[in-house]
Structure 1
């Protein structure tokens, strides 16, 4: 017999990209129900206490702006952005439909519903939304040659240019991507989030620019940094 939604979350069952220590307690903060899935969000208490290291009860207004973005290891990275960039956000188009009285509607990945969108906007395109007005200011087509970020799967957090799209009727479409180092990889269409036209991103990128290094490349990079500092 169902007794309503779960209101707790065990620490061992929390998403690994929250980077919680298993030995510091039994339970973890459970995110409030909202537009994002539990495994695609970060509770505010973890963001403030674990990432920003704020342990005070009251926090003065700092005027700082951050964007949560995946790194190449699949973890949430706290990326500092400028006040100009904080005025807008990018949203992936999930669905387009015609509502009552023939009014066209658009639904984004964060559950926004926008009426009367540009008729050129299609599913899987990316729109730029002004956070003050909630209106669409620009959009990027899902086309080959555009910059994208992978938001799921084994290549989570990688950034590259779309090179090809394989259509598989009755199954998952596959998109091939090439990063700035020339490495190619493939993922499902549902994992692709377009973030720029051509090679120019519409948002600032975290350190590493979404390029995944091999274990040997990471080792060489650490040794080079150690030698230069020493």
Structure 2
């Protein structure tokens, strides 16, 4: 079991704070497979089905559901029970007519926000960096590990794309600029929504910062925690929406 624990299992008390599980009920939980999201920024699919959605009583039932191809992540059937589901990923269970988007709550935990079926056809992805490839085309490297190649580059780092899934076509984009609405993904303001008031670019080794305005007042946060979600209003449903 020690071997097993190091590879496929994780002691619950060592589980990331982002995981919405009870850490004292059992000793072990499942570790995510290697994938597009880091351990502390993702949940294993078995946890989603068994511990959060309660559509499976145990890991065995969860594996059967997954092996049947009944669960889609970003429009693609995933059969690995340890597959990492991360920020902004869309989980669909068509047989139950249930659809969810993974976002952070106010305590920094990753939670499933139920969405309508029509909203499960796209996801939001931020541009982490860009590279020029052969033929003068641009490759956009996105926060969820995927890459999209485009002919004309109209985007900047930290802009957010509306990506149709599983096709990966770009249907729209949101600029990382003053006036855009943003979801805060880290720090003490995690889960809050506000409007970008100011973007401070530093020329030193220090991180860039962003001033965010909310109804309660303004606060400064690191630029890496700012994920734009719209202009006048968010393009996705968020926690607390009716």
Is the TM value for this pair above 0.5?
yes
Q: Distance in 1 between matches of 2:150 and 2:241?
A: 38
SS state of the match for residue 84, structure 1?
helix
* Contact in 1 for aligned 2:8/2:32 (Cα 8 Å): no
In the TM superposition, what whole-angstrom CA distance separates every residue of 1:159-198 from its partner, at most 9, and x where no partner exists? 111001112212101101012x23211111111110002x
SS state of the match for residue 201, structure 1?
coil
2:23 is the alignment partner of 1:25: no
Give aligned pairs, total. 204
Q: Distance in 1 between matches of 2:21 and 2:105?
A: 17
TM superposition score normalised by structure 2: 0.78
* 1:99/1:20 CA distance change after superposition, 3 Å: same
* 1:140/1:22 CA distance change after superposition, 3 Å: closer
Correspondences of 1:209-220 after superposition (within 5 Å): none
Q: Distance in 2 between matches of 1:93 and 1:11?
A: 33
SS state of the match for residue 40, structure 2?
helix
* Contact in 1 for aligned 2:181/2:195 (Cα 8 Å): yes
How far does residue 15 in structure 1 lie from its aligned partner after superposition?
1.2
2:216 is the alignment partner of 1:182: yes
Q: Distance in 2 between matches of 1:103 and 1:146?
A: 28
Q: Which has the higher strand share?
A: 2
* Contact in 1 for aligned 2:211/2:219 (Cα 8 Å): yes
Query: Bigger CA drift: 7-16 or 160-169?
Result: 7-16
2:41 is the alignment partner of 1:40: yes
Aligned to 2:195, which of 146, 161, 164?
Answer: 161
Aligned to 2:162, which of 128, 132, 135?
Answer: 128
Query: Bigger CA drift: 70-79 or 36-45?
Result: 70-79
2:229 is the alignment partner of 1:195: yes
How far does residue 200 in structure 1 lie from its aligned partner after superposition?
1.0
* 1:84/1:205 CA distance change after superposition, 3 Å: same
Q: Flag the structure with more relative contact order, 1 or 2, with Cα contacts below 8 A and sequence separation at least 6.
A: 1
Residue aligning to 1:205? 238
* 1:83/1:13 CA distance change after superposition, 3 Å: same
